[in-house]
Amino acid sequence: MSTSLQPINDGQALTQLKEIQELSIVLSAKNLNPTLLTVDFLKFSGIVPDDWELNNQPVLNPNFSQVSFQNGVSVVAQPRTITFIEVIGDQNANGPKIPEIVNKFLDKLPHAEYQALGISPKTIIPFPNSPDAARQYITETLLAPGNWQDFGKTPIQAGINFLYQLEQCQLSVNINEARLQLPDQRSIPAVLFAGNFNYNIPQENEADRLVTLQKSLKEWQGNLETFRELIHQRFLGQQLSIFPTTVV
């Protein structure tokens, strides 16, 4: 499975591969139009700073729009959803930027019929020591062995979905095999953990809707810490010895 997370840096040795993390915040609304998402709108309204430089040419059409900046922040709009994405690393010395950006977006468009908020962290863990390590982690560590694994001409590939009911929201976690593309065109096996903390938003009253959105958005840091703890302590556990634990 491929992943949208950025590749590792040029010249980085296999023994120095690090965990890569990404944070997305998704707003769902009945009347969000992708053509709204333009660079001029984001900058002239003060949602993003005027000095942010584009990473590539923006995409703008009725069904899909995307604006990506050189600092690792991207905004993607589709009918009824807009997603704010940021790669988390050492460049985030003051923490992720997108929670503040989403707050500004809500301030500028408070009347949209928002329906849900999703706080979606991802982490991709490289397994550089063996080409089969990522697959074996899923099929032998997370799944119980069985005859169902010995079928077909090639080793089985698997993805797993988990759903947790937390105190304030639901958390879904999807686990799949992935590949990390190296600058020299080689790729190494990895496991992608994709989470989503889903907050439903009341629809009856616009003022209550906005208050609930802003309150739920403030949970992003706690959600991120919960996700990291779940992945590292509950899922990986003793498996941590097979890859470096430094987070970029």
pLDDT tens digits, one per residue of 101-132: 999 999 999 999 999 999 999 999 998 888 88
Query: Beta strand pairing status for 73-78 and 81-88?
Result: antiparallel
When divided into structural domains, the chain yields a total of 1
Q: Domain for residue 3, yes or no?
A: no
The half-sphere exposure of 125 on its side-chain side, counting CA atoms within 13 A, is: 25
Residue 198: is its pLDDT beyond 80? yes
Q: Domain for residue 5, yes or no?
A: no
pLDDT at 80: 93
Residue 42: is its pLDDT beyond 90? yes
* Nearest C-alpha neighbor of 10 from the set 161, 183, 219: 183
Average per-residue pLDDT for the chain: 86
Terminal Cα distance for the chain, rounded? 22
* Nearest C-alpha neighbor of 157 from the set 124, 123, 193, 132: 132
CA distance 198 to 68: 24
- 86 touches 97 (CB < 8 A): yes
Q: Domain for residue 7, yes or no?
A: no
Residue 12: is its pLDDT beyond 60? no
Q: How many helices (H) and strands (E) does the chain have?
A: 5, 9
Residue 13: is its pLDDT beyond 70? no
Q: Domain for residue 139, yes or no?
A: yes
CB pairs under 8 A, 24+ apart, for 89-92? 89/20, 89/21, 89/247, 89/248, 90/248
Q: Domain for residue 142, yes or no?
A: yes
Residue 223: is its pLDDT beyond 70? yes
pLDDT at 238: 52
Q: Domain for residue 89, yes or no?
A: no
pLDDT at 1: 41
Q: Domain for residue 177, yes or no?
A: yes
Q: What is the mean pLDDT of residues 134-153?
A: 87
Q: Is the dihedral of CA 223, 226, 81, 74 positive or negative?
A: positive
Residue 9: is its pLDDT beyond 70? no
Residue 224: is its pLDDT beyond 90? yes
Say which DSSP state 100 is in.
H
Q: Domain for residue 35, yes or no?
A: no
Residue 11: is its pLDDT beyond 60? no
CA distance 189 to 133: 7
Look up the pTM and report it: 0.86
- 145 pLDDT tier (thresholds 50, 70, 90): confident
- 64 pLDDT tier (thresholds 50, 70, 90): very high
Domain holding 227, by residue range, is 14-27+114-242
